[in-house]
Structures are given as C-alpha cells and as structure tokens.
Structure 1
Amino acid sequence: MFAKWGSLAYHRRWVVMIATLVLTVMGGMWGLGVFDRLSEGGFGDPTSEAVRANKVIEGTFGRQGGDIVVMYTAPSGSTIDSPDLKAKVEKQLSGLPTDAVKTVASYWNIPQPNPFGSADKSKALVAITLQASDSNTQLKDFARFSDQLKVDGVETQLAGQIPVQKTISEMSGADLVRAEAVSMPIVLILLVIIFGGVVAASLPVLVGGLAIMGSMALLHAVSLGTEVNSFAINVATLLGLGMAIDYGLFIVGRFREELAAGRTTEQAVQRTVGSAGRTVVFSATLLVIALAGLLLFPQSFLKSLGYGGMSAVAVAAFVSLTLLPALLGILGHRVDKLSMPWRKRMAKSEGGAVWARLGKKVMKRPALIAVPIVAVLLALGAPFLGVKFGEVTEKVLPAGNEARVAVETLNKDFPAIAKTGLDIVVKGNTSQEAVQRYAERVAAVPGIDTAALAQEPKDNIWLLSASLDGDPLSDASKQAMLDVRKVTPPLGASETLVGGSTAVNVDSLNAISSRLPWMALLFIAATFILMFLAFGSVLLPIKAIVMSALSLSATFGVLTWIFYDGHLASLLGVTPSPLDSGIVVLMVAMILGLSTDYEVFLLSRMVEARNKGASNEEAVTVGLAKTGRVITAAAILLILVTGAFAFSQVAMMRFVGVGMILALALDATIVRMILVPAVLKLLGNAAWWAPGPLRRIQEKLAIHEGGDVDDEDDHKDDDNRPAQWQRFPQPVG
C-alpha cells in the first residue's frame, strides 16, 4: 500500500503538491479564527462535586467574590479616608461599562468597618465582579476597561484571577513568538549542516510550517464544538514543527540514500514511502494514541492539549506523506542543489561507522553497561516519589512581575480577604437552626477556622462559607475539605456540596489519578499491538515500553528535584512549588510518544536488516549505523525547538522546556544508542521471536517493513552497495 502510494505521489506529483499546499494554506488562514475562541479555563473536573457546588451557587445566588481586585495606595502623607482620594477613585469606577461589570464593592461603598482597608489605612481595595462567566469573555471585557481603573497620582495594583490569567496568557504568547524567533534561525543553520545542502534542509521546515497551519484549522474546527484552552496553540506549534523536522529528516535522508544506491527518482520515491513512509505512519499513530490519552480526562484543559498535539502530529505526518514525496519526485537529484563543501565527505560516510563501532563496543559487554545505566535512571527518578501536585497560581509568573507582586501584597496586607475558604451548599427543606448546628460541626473540623451562613437562603438552598486555617493547597487544608464532606448534614437536607478552590483542586487531582492508569493501559496496548504488527516480535514492544518508562521516570525525577525541591531553582529563576498536574500529564503523553517515535525509527532499520538475513548483532549494528545520525540530529533539532521554552518567563512553560531537553537528551543518547543495543544483545535471537499463531497473524496482515517493495528490485544492486546492506546469510536458531 505505501509503495503504491509512493508511486502514485510520484506520477501525480504536481497535483499532490498543489492540492496539499492549497488544503493546508487555506485551512491555516481559516484556522486563524481559533484565536478568538480560545479560553483560559477548563482546569476543573466538570463532573466533580466542587464544580457542581460552584454552579449551584452561581445559578442561585449569582457569582461570588471579585474577579478583579484593585488595590489603591494613598499618596504619601494621606490615608484612604481622604475625601479627595475617594472622589478620584469613585469617578473612575462610575465610568466602568455596565455590560461588562456586574458589581463593584469598594472600601468606600460598603458599611464601615470593613476588611477592604489595610490596618494602617494606607491601602484600600475594590472588588469587581464581571457579568460574563466564561474566561474568554472575561479577559476581553477586562481588556476594555483595565486602563480606567488607574487613578492619577495614586499607585494602582491589579490582583485577582483575571489579571493573573491575562498576564500568563500574554507572557505565554510572547514567549512562544520569542522561542520561535530564537530557535528557528539556529534550526535552519543546523539543518543545512546536517543535510549538507540548502534545498534538502528547507524541506522539513516547509513541512513544519504547513503542519502548524493545518493544526490551526483542526483546532478551529474543534473549538466550534467544545472549549479549547489557549495552551493548545503552544503544544500544536511545538509538536507540529518538531515532528515535521523528525519526519523530514527520516524521509529525505532515506530518499537520498536510495538515489545514492543508483535508483531512479521514481524508484527512490516509491521505496522511500514504502519503507520510511511506513515507519512515519506507525510513529505518528503511536504518538497520536499517546496524546489521545489526554482525552480520557474530564478537564477541558487536558482535552485541549490532546486536541492540539494530535492535530499537529497528524498533519505533520499527512504533509510528510503527500507534499514531501511529491516535492522529492519533482526535485530528484536536484535535492542536493546548493550543497555545502562537506556534502561529498558526508555522502561517503553514510554508513554511520561511528554508531556501528559504538554498537559493537556496547554488545561486547552488554550486562556491564546495561545494569549501571538502569540503576542511574532509577536513581534519577527517585525524587518524583516525594512530589506533590498543585494548580496554576501567581507563582508561575517571574518574581517582580506586577500581577504577582499585587497578589503577594494582597495576601500580606489583607489576610482576611486573601484567605481562601470552602463554599458549602445545603439543599433541601431544612431550618435555620439545623443549618446553624451544621455550621458549628463544620467549624469543629481540624483545619477549619470559622464557618457561618454567607447568604440568606433562596429556593431551599443555603450557602455557608468556611475559612481554612492555612494555605488552601496544603495537605492540612485538603484533608480538612475532605473531612467537611463527611460531616453529618442538617436534618431535612437532601444534599450537601462542598466547593471552593481547595475542593476544585482536590477533585481535579482525584480525577487525574483515577484516569492515569487507563491512559497508561491505552499507551501500553497500542504500543504492543502496533509494534508487534510492524516488527513481528513479542519482546520488542515490551522492551520499548520498559525503555520509555525508564526515560520518563528519570526525566520527572530531575524535574521534581529542580521545580519542587528547589535545587537550581534560583539559577532557572523559578519559585519552588507543587507541580501543575495538567502540565505533568501533558509531559507524560509527549515523552512516551516521542520516546516510542525514536524506538520505531531505530527498530525499523534493524528489522529491515534482520529480514534480509542478518544475525542479531548484525541487525543491531546496521540499525545504529543507519539511524544513529538521524535520531541524534532529530533530537538536537527538537531540543532547540522545544528547549527554547526553558527560557520562558512563565514557570509552567519553562517546566515544559527543561523537561523536553532532559527527556530528548536522555532518550536519544543513553537509552536508544547505548541501553537498547545492550538489551538486544542480552535478549539475543529471542528479541525477534513471536509464537507461531501470532506470527501467522502478523504475516497475513503484511504490514511489516519492506512488505510493499519488490524483493528482486530490492537486492539487484547488492553487490555495489555498502557491506552492511548486502543480503545477509540467514541466521541460525
């Protein structure tokens, strides 16, 4: 099938090229509309008790608390009780658009004494609640009037959920642009060095650009039916460009190899798609399935990341299998035009002698090499055992940022306002006395400071507020919330619901932890089935899963050591804090997918050699020789693309950047180039074994490497090819 498609792509190359360009470019232009539909929310589990409680509260009593908290500092020598300051502030607040602002509560318009003034009378608060409930509209409305909140001659600070979200969104967008501006020129230069020519180097970049455009179109389509978080754009850009470069390296490299072996352009395109193209499809399928695991979680934030990643990988693979073969068919030997002086030297060393020698050295003492590497990887992963998870807070912003400073000042000078509590809903035909006794039982729970009625009852729904003693995300506060849910409800109550930020966080973490095993099961099953069908071995998929797990463990151990334990935190400019669970799950999906991606590239050439009769050691050596340079180059380029986020101003983006650098560096070098050959040597011929019935199923499906390429044509030039590509004698045993 793949070789036939390669032949069709060659014979209809102009049609395929134009159709792919029109489809992706037009789709990308339409996809720009997704930016008007992105949200900044979706972190909670919509089916959880906490979210249900918040919905009942909003539907019955209206939205509670302030979306925006404005802090005014009186000029030197004055206080917040100054009539002049009051007049200036109220003049500005009176002009706020009523279609955007629902309520304004300030130090000056609520009964005195109130908690909206600092103890020394130097600062006063204004809490603004917006009309809109969705984050996208809230951010747009806030942008309309944010400048109106400033008062001449008065220091003004903006805190609250919306200003923090707006700052994170703006910084993330700016970081994305900056990362691309910095990394792309370096990537282009390295591609020229790796390919030894300008024309060949430009092809993966073209595929990457089209992959990003196509993924924007798919995300726009998805946003018409469901919520899409803005971070999905970052993921789509990162993976679209990264995977396009990976696939481009593999396909263009194989095409040039076929040309160098004396094939015609048509034969080279056909054979490239029939071999490398098939590998790209398997690799992309595994990565899409790994990212599809994000759709198992109820949070729309995680689903959005899944949509972004799946779209980018799918489009990158699609363009790599349509536009790229067509362009190669058009270019032919001109793919080497504008070659660099070192291109001829590179062509002579295509056999990968360095990687072949490395493989041979590793296989001389496989146990001596494998055991220490596994021990080190497990040791690196140890810190992750003590990690704690949290949510996105102002701490993801750099120290000194205006929004972060405003929140920190609010927490310091207005502890009563900043103190986060629990919102408790009591539903049913109960009495005030029963509710009061219930509040007393809640207040007696360890970790709870006070509990009292917050609103007059409405439609047989009562609202209580319980304040927490400590940090709302501490273990003690989380346990207190769980204990409150166990408190005996009031007599006559049909249901009690506990909400608030602590409850939302706990419920979200529980939803993630309950579905992580299913995500792992999906990845393991998909990896085993697809790799077995591709390579016809039972042990190779198992080995791939174990290798990916080791790489994942080591990466998260180091990330925990830095971002949670605080080692090197000052050097990286981050504040140690619990890891954001959503970003961790995203990283799990990406690292598992990418590690399997490199495994497929490596094993495809090993199996290809094995199918020609190579022994176990010969197959491993040939696989390393043929893919070592490509995998290393792909990893370096992907590190540049994704690692640029390590310099982001936002901590969670920096977490992704550092994590990808660690994962790619470990996986593409230590794991794939050293540990995998050692393990394959230890396994021996058993590595390629499968039970008879399963082997027959795999052979019937005929999707093993090289199944579409004519065998006679495959070997007619063997005598003129490098030694490791001549037909091997059939191994014994």
Structure 2
Amino acid sequence: MFERLAELAIRRSRLVLVIAAVAVALMGVLGAGAFEKLRGGGFDDPASQSTRAAKVIDKKFGGETNLVLLVQAPDGRVDTPAARQSGQALVADLRKEEELTNVVSYWDTGSPDLRSRDGHEAMVLAHVTGDETQQRENARKILDAYTGTHKGALTVQAGGGAAVGNDLSKQVVDDLVLAETIAIPLTLVLLLFVFGSVVAALLPLAIAVIAVIGSFAQLSLLGSVTDVADTATNLTTALGLGLGIDYALLMTSRFREQLAAGASVDDAVQRTVHTAGRTVAFSAATVAAALAALLVFPQYFLRSFGFAGVGVVAIAALGTLFVMPALLAVLGHRVNSGRLPWAKPGHSGARAPMWGRLARSVMRRPALTALPVLAVLLAAASPLLGITFGTPDERVLPKDAASRQVSTALRANFDGSEDSAVNIVIDQPVNKAPLESYAVELSGLKGVVRVETSTGTYAEGQNTATAPGNITLGRPDAQRISLVSALTPKSDAAQNLVKEVRALTPPSGTHPLVGGTDAVLVDSKDSIGGRLPIAVALVALTTFVLLFLFTGSVVQPLRALVLNVISLAATLGVMTWIFQDGNLSSLLGFTAQPMEMSMTVLMFCIAFGLSMDYEVFVTSRIKELHDLGKDNETAVVDGLGHTGRIVSAAAFLLAVSFFAFGTAKISFMQMFGLGSGLAVLIDALAVRGVLVPAAMRLLGRSAWYAPGFLRKLHDRFGLSEGGPELTAAVEPATATSPYVKDATGA
C-alpha cells in the first residue's frame, strides 16, 4: 500500500493536489452548517432511573422545572399592590408562550417558599419544552423577551437548567474562536523556529487546516444521523490542528533528512512514505483505538467525542498520507526555501545530538536518572487519592454569567429551590392513604424542607395544610412528588438523600422513579463507573495488539502501558490539585468543584492516545535500527537522536493547541485544555526523554522478547517502519556484521 501511495505522489502529484483542493472546498461548505446540528448536554445515561423519571414527568405532568425567573420589584418589596399587579401580568404573558409549561409564581400561589426571606425577590418557575437542543433555542427566545426590565416595572433574571444550557452554548462558541485565534498564529511562529524555513513551516499548517475543516464536515454529517455534543467542536479543532501538525512534521522532517543525505526528490518521497508514512498510519491507529473506547459509554457527550475523535484522526492521517507526499514531490528542494536568519546549515536534518546524549547518559545510570523523575510524577499523582466526581452545573460558567448569579441568589436567599428538587414519579394509580403515608416518611428524612404531593404539602413528618402550587401533581394514572431539601446540590449529603429516597419502601405495588439533578449525578457515577473498566480494558488490549504488531515484542507494549499510566496519573493528579482543590483558581478564574466525570474520562482517553502517538514515533525508529542489527543501547541512543527533536517539537506544538483552551471561560474546557497539554509535555519530555531509555537499559535484550508462536504471528502479520524493502536490503549484511547503517546514515 505504501509503495502505491509513494508512486501516486510522484507520478500524479498535481492531480492529487487538485482533487484535495476540491475536497477541502466541499468539506468547507458542508462544515459551515455543523453548529446548527450539534446539541447541548448529553451527560445523562438515557437508560438511568433519573432520565426515565424525567421522561414520565415530561409526558404526563408537563415537565420538570428547568427555568427559574428571579424577579425584583422596583420599590424593593414583592408584596406591594404594584409589584403584585406587575408580577401577575408577567405570569400571564409567560403562560401564553408555547415554549413554556407549568408556569408557577409567588403571586398566584402565595407560597412563602417562592419568596426570598427578606421579601425583596420572588420566583417564577416554568418548564421549557423540547429536547436539550430545542430547550436551548426555546430558552434563548424566552430570555431575550423577558429578562432585563419587564414592562418598565420588574427586573427579571433567568436561572435553572435551560438558562445554564443557553449560556453554555454561547460560551462554547466564544471560547472556540478565542482559542483558535491564539493557537494558529502562535503555532506558525513555532513552526518557523522548528524548521528555519518558511515553506517547510507552512506544510504542517496546511495539513492542520485540512484536518480542522474536515473535522467540521464530519461533525455536520454525524449531527445529521446521531446526537453530537456542541463541545465536540473544541475537541476536534484542537485535535485536528495538533495531529495534522504532528504527522506533517514527521513527514516533512524525514523528507528533508533524506534530501540532506543526498537522495533524489523521488527517492526521498518514496523513502519518506515507506518510513514516516507507516509511522503515521500506525500512530493514527493507536490514537483512534483509544478514542474508540468512548463508544462504550451511553452518554452521547462521550459517544460523540468517540465518533468525532476517530473521524478527525482519520482525516489528519489521510491528509498526511495523500496530500503531504504530493506537496513534497512538487516542491522538491524548494521545501527549504525561505530560509530564516537563525537557521544553521544542516538545520533541515532531524538528528538532534542533545537527545542522543541524554539517552546515553540515562542508559549509563538508569536508576539514578529515572528514580527522581518517577518520584516527581508519583508526587504529582498523589492528589488522586482524594478525587471526587461531579456533573456540570452553573458553576462551570464565569461568575458574571446571569444564570449562575441567579443560582447563587436562590441558594443564599430562599429556603430550598424547586430547580434542584428530588422529583419522584409513580407511573401508575396510587390511593390517597398510601400516598400520604409515603409523603410523611419522605418529609421526615434528614435535610428535607418540604414534600409536595397532590394530597398536600408535608414537612418534618406532618401535613402542613399548605396547598402545593398549581402544578399538576396527580393524575388518575400517575402521581408526582416534589421533595425540596436544604442540602447543597450535588454534595455528598444530597447524593445520600437520593439513595435514602430510593431505599424507602414505596406504596404497595408501586415502583417509583427518582430523578432530579442530584439523582442524575448518582446515576452518572454508576453508569460511567460501571463501564469504565470495559473502556480501560479495550484501550489496553488494542494498544497491546497494535504495539505488538509494530514491534514484534510482548515486553514493549507492557512497558509502554506502564509508563503511560504513570504519566497520565501525574496529569490527572495535577488537574485534581488545580480544579478540585482550588489551587490557581484566582489566576484562572474558575470555581473549585468536584472533577467533571465525563470530561475526566475524555481527557484520559485523549491523553492516552496521544501518548501512544509519541510512543510509536520513538519506538518505530528504535525498532528500525534494532532490525538493522544495532545493539540495544545504540538503537535507543540513535533512535532518540533522530526522533527526539521531532517528538519534542510536535509536543510543544500540540500543547499550544490545547493550552489555548486554558483561556476558556467554561471551567471543564479549561481543565481539558490544560490537562491534555500537560499530558503531552510530560510524555514527550519526562517519559520519552528519561523513562523510556532507562526502561530499555534495564530490560536489555528482553525488551524485544516474544514467545515463538507470537514471533511467527508477527513475521506474518506484523509491520515495521522500515518496510519490506529495508528488510530485503539489509539481510545479506546482517549475516556478517551486527552494525549496519541504514539509508539515512544512522
């Protein structure tokens, strides 16, 4: 296959480039509509009890409260005649909106729970209809019409899940634009320093642009056939930009290296495709395998990243394998044009003596050099011992976001909030007596402020004789119960309350479904935690198989897995120290809270895949030299000498793409960007620079061990960077000398 790719690039280079230009233009047109097809949310398990409860409430009771309007009267009191008249007029207008159901307010119920303790604010509750995407659009319409000063009398602010979703969707776009505005120019500057040539620096950026445009096109296609989270745009652009540059950097460096060694342009293209092209294909397979593990989770937030991530990896690899060789064939020696003043003679070669010297020093004293690095990484991982998990809420938004300000006011000024209530639904008929008995027991649970049912309102184990709001709570075929607590939403106590409610004996013959924000968190933990071992096992298994096929050794995959786990643990530990424990919160402008579970899993899979990316970059060259007959130490030293500069440059460039998202205003996107960038740097510098040479020295010849039957399997199905033509070329020489130089002079 690689032989045919090389021949195509050499003989039909201009045709390939014309076809590629047309394809990119078509992808650009298709990708222009991607944002319209993406959805918000996606963090919930569709089969969970909380999701099923929400569906029943939507179907039979008009939906859960997901919009809270916080209303202030102009004279400071909500009980004055003028305020009451204005409030009732507001509610009347809201009830005319097709997008709203279950509109309830303080002014038409008189419920003290809907008025602030100081009497200066009142709540209007409602349900915004539609799925998560429709809710976002409907909420935007309502917020545009009613927030601010309403009819010159009332001041209205919006909170609740629908308002938070609206703020999140707008912030995602703003964050993406800012991140790319920072990343692309900075990446170009770094490429100029890496290559020392304007033309060579532009080539990786060209592939990156193809990958980014292609990623939007595939998001548009995916959004037409399945649910795709809107935050997938951030991942695919960062990943497409980074991987496109990584792969093109490897190809361009190998091509320039071949030209510097005296090869003709055609030979340089052919050799580059045979060697670096194989590495790109295998590297893409390892990254895609790690991201494909996200498909085991039922949450479409994670599944969409799995689909989109695999797609953008494939686009970056295909662009590199087809377009890059054609560009190199057309440019030839002009790839070094536009040489910059700081570029030294021989700058076009990939060999970096510093990395070779580092590897040699490490291999001479493996324990002395590796142990301090291991100690630092393990210390960085230590915060994982206290990690806790949560789901996104208004606190991921900046403090000046309106929906967050409303949530803060509700917690501070009101006795419990309907927006964070535990919602219980019984989807079958229930007699009055057992329903009352059940409500009494619920109201006696620790932390419960009130329980509202169709039979009345209950508190501290007694019926308060207070009528519930005018939301329908009872039907002949179903009953809904609203349990409001004084507990901090998503706290351990709030989650325990959900478990206590589910453990309580219900009315005979009934099967209540328990939902609400705290129930969603409990169910998400169970759902993701239950499937996480499967995802980890799939990642480990596919990585092991792919690295075995690439190296022919069973030890190398195990060594790679162990080192990757250590580096990822260090990264996640640092992110826990920052985002959960609150360190650097004032600098980065976020609110400390439990680690967002879905984003943590996503970051793990992406960081693991990128670690394997660099593993393949380094191991491929070491394996190539080992197959040429060089001893283990020489293969490692020369291999890192050739790839160290590429890996470190690629890591810095990819880290820039991720670190740009550290400017995001959404805290879990900050965590994703900073964590992924840090993981890349730790892997490229600490793992590839120190731990890999140390491990290879300690393992010695056993590093390439495989049982006989697996060796035969690899001989038949395995792949290596050198390709079949290299093996054929060196076989006669290896019979007489263990040290043979390859075509590059290594």
TM superposition score category, shorter chain reference? over 0.9
Structure 2 equivalent of residue 669 of structure 1: 685
Match of 2:630 among 611, 614, 626: 614
Q: CA deviation at 1:204?
A: 1.1
Contact conserved, 1:286 with 1:597, CA < 8 A, in 2? Answer: yes
Change over 3 Å in CA distance of 1:259–1:727 after alignment to 2:
closer
Structure 2 equivalent of residue 197 of structure 1: 197
Structure 1 equivalent of residue 723 of structure 2: 707
Distance 2:497 2:171 in 1: 35
TM-score (norm 1): 0.93
**Superposition pairs for residues 3-402 of structure 1, below 5 Å?**
3-65=3-65, 67-75=66-74, 77-88=75-86, 98-108=97-107, 110-130=108-128, 132-149=129-146, 150-151=148-149, 152=152, 154-347=154-347, 350-402=350-402
Q: CA deviation at 1:88?
A: 4.9
Q: Amino acid of the residue matched to residue 479 of structure 1?
A: N
Structure 2 equivalent of residue 691 of structure 1: 707
Q: CA deviation at 1:403?
A: 2.8
Structure 1 equivalent of residue 479 of structure 2: 462
Query: 1:425-474 deviations in whole A, cap 9, x for unaligned?
Result: 22445422122222333334445454442555324322222233412312
Q: Amino acid of the residue matched to residue 554 of structure 2?
A: V
Distance 2:337 2:90 in 1: 65
> Which 10-residue stretch deviates more, 504-513 or 78-87?
78-87
Contact conserved, 1:6 with 1:269, CA < 8 A, in 2? Answer: yes
Q: Amino acid of the residue matched to residue 368 of structure 1?
A: L
Query: 1:648-667 deviations in whole A, cap 9, x for unaligned?
Result: 21111111122123212211
Q: CA deviation at 1:129?
A: 2.5
Q: Does 1:478 align with 2:495?
A: yes
Contact conserved, 1:232 with 1:307, CA < 8 A, in 2? Answer: no
Query: 1:176-226 deviations in whole A, cap 9, x for unaligned?
Result: 111111221111011011111111111111111111111222222211222
Distance 1:266 1:376 in 2: 47
Query: 1:468-510 deviations in whole A, cap 9, x for unaligned?
Result: 34123122221221222222221232x2221111111111111
Change over 3 Å in CA distance of 1:223–1:237 after alignment to 2:
same
Contact conserved, 1:612 with 1:728, CA < 8 A, in 2? Answer: no
Q: CA deviation at 1:113?
A: 4.4
Q: Does 1:542 align with 2:558?
A: yes
Change over 3 Å in CA distance of 1:334–1:419 after alignment to 2:
closer
Structure 2 equivalent of residue 593 of structure 1: 609
Distance 2:551 2:62 in 1: 59
Change over 3 Å in CA distance of 1:443–1:153 after alignment to 2:
closer
Contact conserved, 1:424 with 1:465, CA < 8 A, in 2? Answer: yes
Residue aligned with 2:109, SS = coil
Distance 1:457 1:99 in 2: 23
Contact conserved, 1:509 with 1:581, CA < 8 A, in 2? Answer: yes
Match of 1:531 among 547, 551, 565: 547
Distance 2:740 2:62 in 1: 73
Residue aligned with 1:463, SS = strand
Change over 3 Å in CA distance of 1:370–1:649 after alignment to 2:
same
Structure 2 equivalent of residue 443 of structure 1: 443
Distance 1:314 1:631 in 2: 20
Change over 3 Å in CA distance of 1:459–1:295 after alignment to 2:
farther
Change over 3 Å in CA distance of 1:595–1:194 after alignment to 2:
same
Q: Does 1:584 align with 2:583?
A: no
Q: CA deviation at 1:538?
A: 0.9
Contact conserved, 1:613 with 1:727, CA < 8 A, in 2? Answer: no
Residue aligned with 2:357, SS = helix
Structure 2 equivalent of residue 497 of structure 1: 513
Q: CA deviation at 1:711?
A: 5.2
Q: Say what the alpha-carbon RMSD is for the aligned residues.
A: 2.5
Query: 1:114-155 deviations in whole A, cap 9, x for unaligned?
Result: 43322333222222322x321222222232342321323643
> Which 10-residue stretch deviates more, 256-265 or 288-297?
256-265
Distance 2:366 2:141 in 1: 65
Flag structure 2 segments of 5+ consecutive residues without an equivalent. 455-471
Q: CA deviation at 1:103?
A: 4.6
Q: Does 1:571 align with 2:587?
A: yes
Change over 3 Å in CA distance of 1:42–1:420 after alignment to 2:
same
Contact conserved, 1:21 with 1:323, CA < 8 A, in 2? Answer: no
Contact conserved, 2:351 with 2:643, CA < 8 A, in 1? Answer: no
Match of 2:658 among 642, 645, 651: 642
Distance 2:124 2:441 in 1: 33
Residue aligned with 2:481, SS = strand
> Which 10-residue stretch deviates more, 401-410 or 555-564?
401-410
Query: 1:616-643 deviations in whole A, cap 9, x for unaligned?
Result: 0000001110111111101111111110
Contact conserved, 1:425 with 1:462, CA < 8 A, in 2? Answer: yes
Q: Amino acid of the residue matched to residue 661 of structure 2?
A: F
Q: Amino acid of the residue matched to residue 385 of structure 2?
A: L
TM-score (norm 2): 0.92
> Which 10-residue stretch deviates more, 561-570 or 675-684?
561-570
Contact conserved, 2:615 with 2:688, CA < 8 A, in 1? Answer: yes
Distance 1:231 1:419 in 2: 24
Change over 3 Å in CA distance of 1:620–1:113 after alignment to 2:
closer
Residue aligned with 2:507, SS = coil
Distance 2:111 2:198 in 1: 73
Residue aligned with 2:723, SS = coil
Query: 1:492-533 deviations in whole A, cap 9, x for unaligned?
Result: 32x222111111111111111111111111111111111111
Distance 1:446 1:91 in 2: 38
Change over 3 Å in CA distance of 1:405–1:702 after alignment to 2:
closer
Query: 1:329-374 deviations in whole A, cap 9, x for unaligned?
Result: 1111111111213434343764311111111111110012223322
Q: Amino acid of the residue matched to residue 159 of structure 1?
A: G
Residue aligned with 1:345, SS = coil
Distance 2:93 2:486 in 1: 38
Distance 1:323 1:156 in 2: 55
Q: CA deviation at 1:37?
A: 1.5
Q: CA deviation at 1:262?
A: 1.9
How many residue pairs match? The answer is 721
Identity of aligned residues (%): 39
Contact conserved, 1:422 with 1:465, CA < 8 A, in 2? Answer: yes
Contact conserved, 2:253 with 2:348, CA < 8 A, in 1? Answer: no
Residue aligned with 1:69, SS = strand
Q: Amino acid of the residue matched to residue 491 of structure 2?
A: S
Change over 3 Å in CA distance of 1:406–1:174 after alignment to 2:
same
Match of 1:555 among 571, 587, 604: 571
Residue aligned with 2:32, SS = helix
> Which 10-residue stretch deviates more, 435-444 or 267-276?
435-444
> Which 10-residue stretch deviates more, 464-473 or 296-305?
464-473
Contact conserved, 1:422 with 1:502, CA < 8 A, in 2? Answer: yes
Q: Amino acid of the residue matched to residue 38 of structure 2?
A: L
Contact conserved, 1:3 with 1:709, CA < 8 A, in 2? Answer: no
Query: 1:239-261 deviations in whole A, cap 9, x for unaligned?
Result: 00010011011011111111222
> Which 10-residue stretch deviates more, 548-557 or 28-37?
28-37
Change over 3 Å in CA distance of 1:63–1:725 after alignment to 2:
same
Distance 1:354 1:642 in 2: 27
Q: Amino acid of the residue matched to residue 486 of structure 1?
A: A
